[in-house]
Homo-oligomer: A and B are copies of this chain.
């Protein structure tokens, strides 16, 4: 059995910088036609020059002309209309992080009053720049996403023409909120379709499955699966693949992030096939994102074949999801 995917897209990707960028960019460009690249470097990507320079470094590292890095800016409430107009052609979206909520987010937003954010969000709305949001409060770890929903709702109501993407949603509550507002969209990761907190901490503790937002309850995963498997037009694939070297994961303080770039398409094929909805994968992994963002990615045809794929223990010093496990699908060819 085979399936052909046209120009698969990963609409939430961490490529980091320097050596790590060189290590992981080819693992995304190998099977994706494009990816929305997160701006949480140190320091974060906050102006046009930084965007251009980072994009150049990514293209060089990826070494693949049929891979488009869609760039993002790290949200700052200081951005004004003129600044945004000038940078608009270079970016696809702006990513908002609450301060301190995940890796390299200490420069994020700590005041979510609409008034504080209004000038920037109004300008983005006028200019048609989507807002991507890491939607978590700093509350109890299992409640953070649900607690953030009133903020999503306030923003969705106040800026009805602004496309707001709820990034890497993990809860039933987020899926329900998504459906209530026309201008809300969402990305869903591979790992949140697969795992719950049980996989992270129910048996032995699994640092390589530890991520933010943390994997939630079985009923939450069920909600995510439902909208992903039907390829609901409001949801799209965003891996949130986040590489950390092994010594930052198997450590007394383990960094958040699951590395899925090289296993994402086989992993998705396996779970979509199991659910009997393989025919919806094209929409989930490309068509929906093209419509939501209004983009036409480079042509790239990925053929997946139902044959065992023995996932490497690691890619250099980065341990992937499914490390040393066998997935039932593998990438046969990419044209």
Contacts and interface: CB of A to CB of B under 8 A. Distances in A.
Given A251-B250, A323-B252, A140 B207 contact: no
Contact of A254 (B207, B214, B217): B207
Contacts of A141: 197-198, 201-202
Nearest to A144: B202
A252 B205 CA distance: 8
Question: Max chain B CB contacts within 10 Å: which of A142, A206, A255?
Answer: A142
Nearest to A197: B141
Nearest to A198: B141
Contact of A205 (B204, B210, B217, B218): B210
A162 interface: no
Interface string A250-261: 111111100000
B197 A252 contact: no
Contacts of A140: 196-198, 202, 217-218
B198 A214 contact: no
A142 B218 CA distance: 11
A207 B142 contact: no
Given A140-B217, A141-B197, A142-B217, A252 B202 contact: no
A165 interface: no
A205 B202 contact: no
Contacts of A197: 140-142
A334 interface: no
Contacts of A218: 140
A319 B250 contact: no
Interface string A308-335: 0000000000010001000000000000
Contact of A210 (B201, B208, B250, B255): B201
A200 interface: yes
Contacts of A206: 252-254
A78 B90 CA distance: 73
Interface in A195-233: 196-198, 200-208, 210, 214, 217-218
A179 B262 CA distance: 53
Nearest to A199: B141
Interface string A57-79: 00000000000000000000000
Contacts of A204: 253-256
Given A140-B217, A201-B201, A252 B252 contact: no
A206 B251 CA distance: 8
Contacts of A200: 201
A58 to B, nearest CB: 27
A256 B210 CA distance: 16
Give 3 closest A-B pairs by Cβ, nearest first. Answer: A204-B253, A205-B254, A141-B202
17 contacts: A140-B197, A140-B198, A140-B202, A140-B217, A141-B201, A141-B202, A142-B142, A200-B201, A204-B253, A204-B254, A204-B255, A205-B207, A205-B255, A206-B253, A206-B254, A252-B319, A252-B323
